[in-house]
Amino acid sequence: MTHHAYLKSPAADIQTAVDYLPYAEERLSKEVWQYLQSGTGQGLSSSRNRKVFEDISLMPRPLSDVKGGNTHIELFGQSFKHPIILAPLAYQRLFHPDGEIASAMASAAQGGQMAVSSLASQTLETIIEAAEQALWFQLYWQADRETTLRLVKRAINAGYSAIMFTVDAPVKQAAIALPKDISAVNLESPIALAQEVTGESIVFDGWMQQAPGWDDLMWLRDQITVPLIIKGVMHPEDAERAVSIGCDGIVVSNHGGRVLDGVPGSLQMLPEITRAISGKAKVLFDSGIRNGQDVFKALALGADAVMVGRPYIWGLSTCGALGVAHVIRLMRDELEMTMALSGAKNLQVLKSGTYIYSI
């Protein structure tokens, strides 16, 4: 149960995405808030994600002619007004009754894109119908290839135009006791750990028996014709291998610090992965984005687009679709202002120039 009623519109004192934080917290139960905000271990990776952004300086370039500038972008055959993509987050009805539908509608209204989670709390068909545009589907590997392919084909048949395969969380379970009326409604059965461990290790002989491998990625690539994006890559060699298999995009991500603690900040690895891929596939960035300046920094370091996670859920938790749309708009405005003051007229120029001072 929420502690406060949802707002009908954003409060006047909300000027940045982070300003939504206290509003969201007071509207969610302690358990749901902890589920949303927590990382793993000591939270080293979550903290590092932010520190890397904060350590980068911007270089102002006054007198630049940026009249008529824009943030337009094309990705996988679709055109968007900005490069801010809503990352796949599970069980969004935990945060607002309108759930994923509200987020999808807000993203479409703002001229952007959303990746819908395998663990969505509303049906894939209902979400994409509300969005009135082709969305992307985020895939968690299921119990076997056949079950996985049925889920993928369901998404494609519903109109999802790209598959984003998350590979850094091989066994994904809800780290929260879900209410009876909220579940992963699109899955045939809950993703569960292996019940019988025949070896001596519950990790290697249990959990990882269900984890996908490179052969499964090659198999999946052969099964579908829509763009295939791999989410959760942090090593340049893994990025190169995925592209050699035929993947169309890489998401540089440490899962927001929610899987393996102590890994590098995602932004630390972005330049290396961008160089390794060398234009052979699109590079998306995820983990730690909190404002438009962060978006600018990721793009200047080689990303084609960014994915935003927790901030838009803060907006959703506060006032539903309007909150999500407001978060996107705030970040886009901040991105445009940063571009203008840095002398970057568009994203193509931003990717080809030197707009940051240090990393």
Using DSSP bridges, classify how beta strands 73-75 and 78-80 pair: parallel, antiparallel or unpaired.
antiparallel
CATH 3.20.20.70 fits 17-29+43-59+67-171+198-352, yes or no: yes
CA 126/CA 95 separation, integer angstroms? 18
Give the pLDDT of residue 1: 47
3-state helix, strand, coil in the chain (%, to 5): 40, 10, 45
How much is the pLDDT for 141?
93
Phi and psi angles of residue 307, each rounded to the nearest 5 degrees, phi first: -120, 135
Residue 302 pLDDT: 94
CA distance 335 to 152: 34
Is 217 in contact with 230 (CB distance < 8 Å)?
yes
The residue extents of the domains of the chain are: 17-29+43-59+67-171+198-352
Distance CA 113, CA 279 (A): 22
Token pair recorded at residue 84: 């801010």
pLDDT digits (tens, 9 = 90+) for 293-348: 999 999 999 999 999 999 999 999 999 999 999 999 999 999 999 999 999 999 99
Q: How many CA atoms lie within 13 A of 245 on its CB side?
A: 24
Containing 308, the helix (H) or strand (E) segment is strand 305-308
In the chain, count of helices (H) and strands (E)? 12, 10
pLDDT at 235: 93
Residue 151: the pLDDT is 98
Burial class (CB in 10 A: 0-12, 13-18, 19+), 317: buried
Burial 258-272 (b: 16+ CB within 10 A, else e): bbebebebbbbbbeb
The answer to whether residues 102 and 313 touch, using CB atoms and an 8 Å cutoff, is no
Helix (H, G, I), strand (E, B) or coil at 164: strand
Q: What is the per-residue pLDDT for 122?
A: 98
Q: How far is CA 129 from CA 107, 111, 122, 156, 344, in A?
A: 13, 16, 12, 13, 36
Q: Which two tokens stand for residue 51?
A: 């520190």
Q: What token pair was written down for 341? A: 């003051």
pLDDT at 176: 83
Distance (Å) of CA 301 to CA 244, 253, 269, 326: 23, 14, 10, 26
Q: Over the chain (359 residues), what is each successive 10-residue block's mean pLDDT?
A: 82 97 96 83 68 88 94 97 97 98 98 97 98 97 94 98 89 73 90 54 55 93 98 94 97 74 82 93 94 96 96 98 98 97 94 72
Q: What is the sign, positive or negative, of the torsion defined by CA atoms of 269, 288, 126, 172?
A: positive
| 255 classed as catalytic | yes
Tokens read off for 346: 């568009």
- Quick: pLDDT tens for 29-48: 999 999 998 765 566 667 77
Among the listed residues 4, 72, 96, 255, the single catalytic one is 255
Cα-Cα end-to-end distance for the chain: 43
